[in-house]
Amino acid sequence: MSIVLFVIIYCLLILMAIGLTILCLYAAMIIIITRPGIFTIVLGVGIGSMGVLILIFLFKFIFKSHKVDRSHLVEISRNEEPQLFSIIDEIVKEVNTTFPKKVYLSSDVNASVFYDSSFWSMFFPVRKNLQIGLGLVNSVSKEELKSILAHEFGHFSQKTMKVGSYVYHVNQVIYNMLYDNEGYDKLIQGWANINAYIALFVVLAIKIIGGIQWILQKMYELVNKSYMSLSREMEFHADEIAANVTGYEPLKNSLLRLELANHSYNSVLSFYETKISDSIKSENLFKEHSFVMNHLANEDAIPIKDNLPQVTMEELNRLNKSKLVIKDQWASHPSTAERIKRLESLNVPPAQKGYASANTIFKNIEATQKALTEKIFSVVNYKEQVRCLPLNDFKEDFQKQYEKNTFAKLYNGYYDNKNPIVFEPDNINSDAQTIPFNELYSQQKVDLVYTAVALENDLGILKQISDRNNPVKTFDYDGKKYKKKESNLVINALQRELKLTKEQIKQNDIDIFKYFKSLEPDNSGGLLKEKYKRFFAFEQEFQVKYKIYENLSNELQFINFVTPVEQIQSNFQKIKSLETELKKGISDLLNENLYQAEISEEIKGNFDLYTSKEWQYFGTENYFEKNLEILYNALNNYVFLLSRGYFLLKKDLLNYQEKLHQGSTTM
């Protein structure tokens, strides 16, 4: 119904635009014929072009096609991977759907179906391609991969795919006219620059187009809400098909593990980002991915079976203390928890049990992994002769970095998402009776921290609902349904609960200080107190220094949008004072001992280049991209070092406390 409504409204817009164009062209001809001359010709061209520009706007999407970038993909054939294609054959036969046009490998922790699309593909069938990520293959068993592929082919079998395809293209049409207007903007700007009279009618055309866009915005919301609702049901249905092919457990287990697998993969990539300046790359990213995934699982006490972490629903939700439930009308996929709940309700037993790695499906998985690894690093520009890091060296280096950037396990994750709440150490009576260490860092105390985090997040969302920035009409909190107008009642209750929770956490932080103060030797010179004071002082400084980054980033947002030349020049003039503050902030960082070990040659070079002169970022018509890159490098390095300073002071404080605790246990 939303598609039909869109078609009707769009056809009406077309008819009105055609009528306006005919009227404009007729008026132009009358003006030119009645009084021929340069002035009337220009005026006539301006009037006539107004209707034509509106028509071009309404039809420009027809000439727009969307081609999926395949540069990161590697096509594989049946001869190259017979076992994989045999599994695909089995699934295609069982699901009763079509074989993909082509099968590609990528490095991602994902599998998907994709195709090149255009307006005309609404009327002509388009064969779909299958993309399988080696990061995914590396993270699942053979049965789990089969289940994931069965899910993807489940989409092929859905009759609603046809409806989904139409909705997708309707969305593309609307999106094109609402947001994809860079080429069109250049066209009308060029046309307006010809003559002031023509520019007047271009402005009128833009006003009319603005009205059309308002109508399309409303249609975009209507169509998308319908489409997303359909999409979520299609995901549930594809899960059901997968469950009937392999049983529900393989898909459930893979869904639970994928968040850890994806985080581990990104951790490996982040590790090698730090090695670019040293011209070091990976020989086999996926061997390292497996190591990191299991290393992180061990750190979180997640059991490992057949080299794969066995993540449970309890582990996935361990730190999520939110009680707010809002039906997200804009989500294309149900949440993992919703999908698993629906899968379990099917209660389809596994077709066969087995935990053999999905990597065993491939003929020569190591060679394939190395080829994909080489493809990933081929786009990186290294300054010197590049060398590969041996796996054992990676393990050792990664573990060192992990320990350097995490807090001791004895704290039970208490400080992972919080800092000590500010108090005055001089006012604390350290002679009072202390609370035992295990109680200070018990799971109950950790839960307090994550309850506060959840309350703050829930309050943020509820305030959006109360301020009408969130369109939801109802929501659930702690199992009870509320209407939008009742949101303030819930907000007031949560604010009271958050205040009480923070008071409990602060008291625990004070008790922690008292505990460690009682362990500190008399000859320490009050070092613990000084470390707390320094951390609290830095916290205040951080807010001031971070504001420089925040203000400059906000003032530079105009670069991402089409902006008149005069406004661009004015905007860059306004940021000069902010740049002066940034350069002062950079100078402070370079002279502060705290940051010296963190300032790499690359960061130092970026700072020196930026502070060496006053840069210009715009000419008469174009941005100076290289100069903007210098500014953004300095800005990003600045905020990175600020954040590192925060972490380093916190790490230093916690390491000192750990040392005091260890000293007390060995006495």
Indicate whether 313 belongs to any domain: no
pLDDT one-digit tens code per residue, 196-253: 777 888 888 888 888 888 888 888 778 777 778 888 888 999 999 999 999 999 999 9
pLDDT one-digit tens code per residue, 96-140: 888 888 999 999 999 988 776 655 555 666 678 899 999 999 999
Residues 590 and 498 in one domain: no
Query: Do the Cβ atoms of 258 and 139 come closer than 8 Å?
Result: yes
Question: Residue 522 pLDDT > 90, yes or no?
Answer: no
Indicate whether 630 belongs to any domain: yes
Indicate whether 226 belongs to any domain: yes
Largest CA distance in the chain: 107
Domain boundary among 215, 231, 247: 247
Residues 508 and 537 in one domain: no
Partnered with residue 118 across adjacent β-strands are 65
Indicate whether 354 belongs to any domain: no
pLDDT for residue 318? 82
Indicate whether 584 belongs to any domain: yes
Residues 466 and 513 in one domain: yes
Q: What is 458-522 written as a DSSP string? A: HHHHHHHHHTT-S--SEEEETTEEEEGGGHHHHHHHHHHHHHHHHHHHHHHHHHHHHHHHHHS-G
Distant-in-sequence, close-in-space partners of 199: CB < 8 Å, separation ≥ 6: 46, 192, 193
Residues 501 and 538 in one domain: no
Question: Residue 551 pLDDT > 90, yes or no?
Answer: yes
Q: Which domain holds residue 499?
A: 407-519
Chain position carrying tokens 């998985």: 365
What average pLDDT does the segment 477-505 reach? 94
Residues 489 and 634 in one domain: no
Distances in whole angstroms, Cα of residue 305 to Cα of each of 135, 297, 351, 424 = 18, 11, 20, 49
Q: Residue 287: name the closest of 382, 389, 147 by CA.
A: 389
Query: Do the Cβ atoms of 557 and 635 come closer than 8 Å?
Result: no
Question: Residue 472 pLDDT > 60, yes or no?
Answer: yes
Which DSSP symbol is given to 117? E
Query: Do the Cβ atoms of 268 and 181 come closer than 8 Å?
Result: no
Question: Residue 549 pLDDT > 80, yes or no?
Answer: yes
pLDDT for residue 65? 54
pLDDT for residue 352? 66
Indicate whether 305 belongs to any domain: no
Domain boundary among 247, 269, 295: 247
Q: Residue 622: name the closest of 575, 554, 568 by CA.
A: 568
pTM of the model: 0.80
418-446 exposure pattern, b = at least 16 Cβ within 10 A, e = fewer: bebeeeebeebeeeeebeebeebbeeebb
Indicate whether 448 belongs to any domain: yes
Query: Do the Cβ atoms of 514 and 430 come closer than 8 Å?
Result: yes
pLDDT for residue 68? 57
Please state the domain count of the chain: 3
pLDDT for residue 164? 59
Indicate whether 290 belongs to any domain: no
Between 50 and 265, where is the model more confident?
Answer: 265
Tokens standing for 575? Answer: 């940021």
Domain boundary among 247, 282, 309: 247
Distance CA 221, CA 471 (A): 11
Residues 508 and 556 in one domain: no
Partnered with residue 476 across adjacent β-strands are 325, 481
CA 531 to chain centre: 35
Weakest mean pLDDT among 423-427, 502-506, 570-574, 618-622? 618-622
